[in-house]
Structure 1
Amino acid sequence: MGKWYNVGKIVNTHGIKGEVRVISKTDFAEERYELGNKLYIFTGEDNQPIEVVVKSHRLHKNFDLLTFEGYHNVNEVEKYKGSLLKVPEDQLSELDEGEFYFHEIIGCHVYTDEAKELGTVKEILTPGANDVWVVKGHNNQEILIPYIDDIVLDINIHDKKIVIKPLEGLL
């Protein structure tokens, strides 16, 4: 099996009907948790992932709540607390132009439109309407860059290079 990509972490159970509470680490949660989709639970104890099929998905506070087919009861999912949910690389869907996976953006070098290097994308935050890229600059300084068209001019995944037009006050 090729690479695996982290979709989220099961942090707890929810109620008694087999629902699990997930903190999502995925760029496309809605798509990942569509009914009938396959996800794989990595418990960390062995390397054999457990295949599950999404039966229901709803949002609750900052969590995604999922149930899986064949799991009807809190006792059956209790053992998965702390486990990671992943998908294999071949399940990553083709993206529209201008869409990128987090793992493609992280590690890219960020430059201004005047060719000044700012640093490397270390993390992506998803606080709301726009993703925010955390760029680790010189002297370990963190620069937060909102992923919006006015700022991000060019993304070249192959060269791991991103060009931005810094708005006033950004740097």
Structure 2
Amino acid sequence: MTQNSQETVIGRITSVFGVKGWLKVYSFTDPIDGILGYTNWVLDLDGKRIPAKLEEGRRQGKAIVVRLKGINDRDQARTYCGAEVRVPTSELPELPEGEFYWRQLQGLDVFTVEGECLGRVDHLIETGSNDVLVVHATAGSIDQRERLIPYLPEQVVREVNLAEHKLIADWDPEF
């Protein structure tokens, strides 16, 4: 797999763990140990792509620790710190109707229920209570403001239409 658009980031290697080549991983999956369900990883480190095979892993407190095939000592493991963990999007499970991966929401044009263009979803932020859409202005926006819109389906987010590449939000443009 050579195109990043066909992959999604599911975690980041943060540090070494112990002396036998184990690595600590910050998981972006929910639940966090869901990352252990993927065995064929592509590590993206400073633009270099490294295929990796998950040999074993477990939850260690609030973190995930893993052992990758062929990495057997601390010094070797340290060279992978900072790498993004990617998997092919084709390996992601299908979501129930009305649920979306963040990557599916990024790039959608955002409109109010009245049809005013607020901009485009640049990325999302995870907060304690709900996720937040970060909407950047575009050439067709009503103004050039950045907006933070809570991702609350049915309350604020009324419709997500992937085919038309748009999201309808019940949101006051003054916010």
Q: Which runs of 5 or more structure 1 residues have no equivalent in the other structure?
A: none
Q: Deviations over 1:65-95 (max 9, x none)?
A: 3212555643342121121211012211111
Residues 38-47 or 7-16, more deviating: 38-47
Instruction: Tell me which residue corresponds to 2:94.
Output: 94
| 1:41 partner amino acid | L
Q: Which one of 153, 162, 170 corresponds to residue 165 of structure 1? A: 170
Counterpart amino acid of residue 117 in structure 1? C
Who is 2:64 aligned against?
65
1:18/1:43 CA distance change after superposition, 3 Å: same
Letter in 1 for 2:44: F
Question: Contact (CA 8 Å) 1:40, 1:85: kept in 2 or not?
Answer: yes
Moved more, 119-128 or 8-17: 8-17
Deviation at 1:103, TM superposition (A): 1.5
Conserved in 2, the CA contact under 8 Å of 1:34 and 1:57? no
Q: Return closer, same or farther for 1:35/1:162 CA change in 2, 3 Å cut-off.
A: closer
- Range 130-139 or range 78-87, more displaced: 130-139
Structure 1 Cα separation of the partners of residues 168 and 61 of structure 2: 35
Deviations 1:104-123 (A, max 9, x none): 10110101111111010001
Q: Secondary structure at the match of 1:104?
A: helix
Asked if the contact 1:36/1:53 (under 8 Å) is kept, the reply is no
Given that 1:38 and 1:53 are in contact with CA atoms closer than 8 Å, whether structure 2 keeps it comes out as no
How high is the sequence identity, in percent, across the aligned residues?
25
- 3-state DSSP of counterpart to 1:80: coil
For 2:100, the aligned partner's letter is: F
5 Å-filtered alignment, 1:131-150, equals 131-137=131-137, 138=141, 140-149=144-153, 150=155
**Cα root mean square deviation, aligned:** 2.8
Secondary structure of the corresponding residue to residue 120 of structure 2: strand
Match of 2:52 among 40, 46, 50: 50
User: Alpha carbons of 1:53 and 1:142: their partners in 2 closer, same or farther (altered >3 Å)?
Assistant: farther
Partner of 1:124: 124
* Equivalent pair of 1:41/1:52 in contact (CA under 8 Å): no
Aligned residues: 166
Instruction: Give TM-score scaled by structure 1 length.
Output: 0.79
Q: Quick one: distance in 2 between partners of 1:170 and 1:13? A: 47
Q: Distance in 2 between matches of 1:54 and 1:157?
A: 36
Q: Residues 170 and 152 from structure 1, CA distance in 2 versus in 1: closer, same or farther, beyond 3 angstroms?
A: farther
**What TM-score, normalized to structure 2?**
0.78
